[in-house]
Amino acid sequence: MYQNCTPLPKYHHDATLASLKSNKFSGLITSLPETPLSLTRQLPTVSFDRPISREIPMVSCDNYGGGHLIAQTVLKRGAKEILIFCGSQQDLSPINERLRGMMDCFQKRQTKFSTAYLDFTAGNLFKQVQLAKLLTGQKYDAICCSDDITALLVKQRVRQLSYQPLVTGFDGSNFVRNFFPDLLTVKQPIKDLAALTCQLLDQRLRRGHFPSGHKQELPVTLLDL
């Protein structure tokens, strides 16, 4: 099985797809929205967190509900100037569910917000330049990030700029909780998500079928300060 949670460089991506097409794998778990449909018709496939097509089952956490929880918490802290910051442009267009949860909550409360993204495939130096350009001279009350890694990069940059907006993440991995316990974030049930994803794929491999286009969501937990 092949599983990937971040976009691959094009040459690596092409090589991986070629390897999959050569029937060296019996099944596929993917989070790449650009996974070719021709490949998913050859291999039993389950998508994690990214819709591929109506025919492919998808497993995810309650991204919309998690985004809504983050937005509610930010508003309770009194934030009025808010930036929604994404780890990739794909998260902005089409808007994924966790961002939509944030936006719907802010719009309902008639709260001003902006959106921006970071080119996560770029090198560290270029990412630092992007962050500097985006944040220098700005005074956001809160910066709501699409994931914890982006949030940690933002927290590092705003410390250098000597101002302290509320920075939030999304994912809540053990690493983040152990080493950055002060990050306000949403915890995904990673083990349960992994088990369910593998269970769905195993059903297809063993029984030859599972409901097409079936989506299953698991609840999330807010990790407050």
Residue 29 pairs in a beta bridge with 46
Residue 122: per-residue pLDDT: 73
Domains parsed from the chain with CATH numbers: 10-61+189-220 (3.40.50.2300), 63-187 (3.40.50.2300)
Overall pTM > 0.85: no
Residue 20: per-residue pLDDT: 58
Question: How do beta strands 28-30 and 45-48 pair?
Answer: parallel
* pLDDT confidence band for 19 (50 / 70 / 90): low
> Which of 57, 2, 100, 86 is closest to 217 using CA atoms?
57
Residue 6: per-residue pLDDT: 36
| Helix axes 124-135 and 148-160, enclosed angle (nearest 10) | 60
Residue 218 pairs in a beta bridge with 61
Residue 17: per-residue pLDDT: 59
The tens digit of pLDDT for each residue in 94-150 reads: 678 999 999 999 999 999 999 998 877 777 778 788 888 888 888 899 999 999 988
